[in-house]
Every structure is written in C-alpha cells, then in structure tokens.
Amino acid sequence: MENNSITRDRVVGNDRTFKEFSCQICQNLLWEPHSCSSCHRILCEKCMQKWFNNPLNRNTCPFCSKPSEYKPCAFLNQYILPYLRIRCRNENLGCKQILPYKQLEHHETADCQYLSEQCMKCNQLILRSKLVEHQQRLEQCISCPIKCTICKNSFEDIDFQAHFTECYQQKIDQLNTNIDFDRNMERHIRDNERITPNSSL
C-alpha cells in the first residue's frame, strides 16, 4: 500500500503488540510481511524490496547475510494481523473509523467518506475532491518536513530520499551488530553451561 505507513498512533492496543509486529527497519506496523527462508526474521514488503533491489546486497538476507529468499509470512497473515485494529489514515480529515487490518486498504482506497490522496507537491494527505483547489492555494500547498520513521528526525522534502537511504543502511548495520551481540551471548551462555557441570565436580 503506497503512502500508508502505519505508525504507532494508528494501531489500537498496547505498545507491546505494536513492537512485536512492526518492521525492524522502517518501524511501522508490518504490511505484507515476508520472512527469510534461512533465519525467519521478518520485514515488510516495502523494506524487503528496497533491500533486494540494491544489487550490492547480492540477494543475501540483511539479518543473517546468507543467500536467501523472502517469502510471504503466512502465519502472521493468517493468525496475527487480522486481529489488529487500525485507525483510518484520514483521521485528521474527519474519518473516525477503526478498521480490522484486512479491511483497511479497501476502506482507505474505496469506502472512506474522506477519500484522500497524497499531494505530489507537498506530500500532505488531501481530500481527493479538494486536491486541485489545494494545489492552487499556495498558502496550503507548502512542503512540510517529512518525518523519518527510523530516526524520528524531520527533513525537507528534497533532502528526505537521500537521508532515508542512508538512515536505512545504518539501521541495518546496527541490527547486524545487535545480532552479532546476540550470537556471542548465546555462545557465551552455551560455553558456560558446558563448563558448569565439570567445575562443580
């Protein structure tokens, strides 16, 4: 779903639910989640495509670095995500509806009484019926800073794309460091377990 990042404030429920089912890279709620055939870690479709479209990444997983294929994550799609409830993206325009995950896209693109489109010039969500009028009004159609979902900083429109690419790469590097750390801890714990019985003799 284009232009529809599901941020924390749109998901009904506690922080834990959101954290558990958000994409580790863009930090939005998982949309079309895909998991690695090797390590089973999960990414949203957008982040997965962004990663695999970069030839430098040579079809390896960002997390386990093994040659990998990402497949739609059937378990989440079937048993977890359908139970989440999300506020319509047009809440600021007047829509107070809260939708089950699976109905959200249809609602926002067809059923909503406040159908909106993202203005190409300023990136704001604007009522579809008011879009032309909006773009003629210079005082309304001003490019507003875009907030990076990863680092939470705001950027001017023209700087955003470059920033996001960089921020995205940093996030992956950081995740990899954490994973190395986890692996070391695991090894450490295993080694200790091995040592303990002997040393108690």
The DSSP code for 119 is: -
Amino acid of residue 175: L
Q: Is 44 in the site for Zn ion (CB under 5 A)?
A: yes
Q: Is 98 in the site for Zn ion (CB under 5 A)?
A: no
Half-sphere exposure of 176 (CA within 13 A, CB side): 13
Residues 103-132 that bind Zn ion (CB under 5 A): 112, 119, 121-122
- Residues with Cβ within 8 Å of residue 73, at least 6 apart in sequence: 33, 34, 35, 42
* CA 162 – CA 119 distance, rounded (Å): 20
Q: Is 23 in the site for Zn ion (CB under 5 A)?
A: yes
Tell the burial category of 99 from Cβ atoms under 10 Å away from its Cβ (0-12, 13-18, 19+).
Answer: buried
Instruction: Map residues 153-192 to x or -, x wherever contact with Zn ion holds by CB under 5 A.
Output: --------------x-------------------------
Counting residues that bind Zn ion (by CB under 5 A) gives: 25
Options 34-42, 51-59, 73-81, 182-190: segment touching Zn ion (CB under 5 A): 34-42
Interface with Zn ion (CB under 5 A): 23, 25-26, 36, 38-39, 44, 47, 61, 63-64, 68, 88, 90, 95, 97, 112, 119, 121-122, 141, 148, 150-151, 167
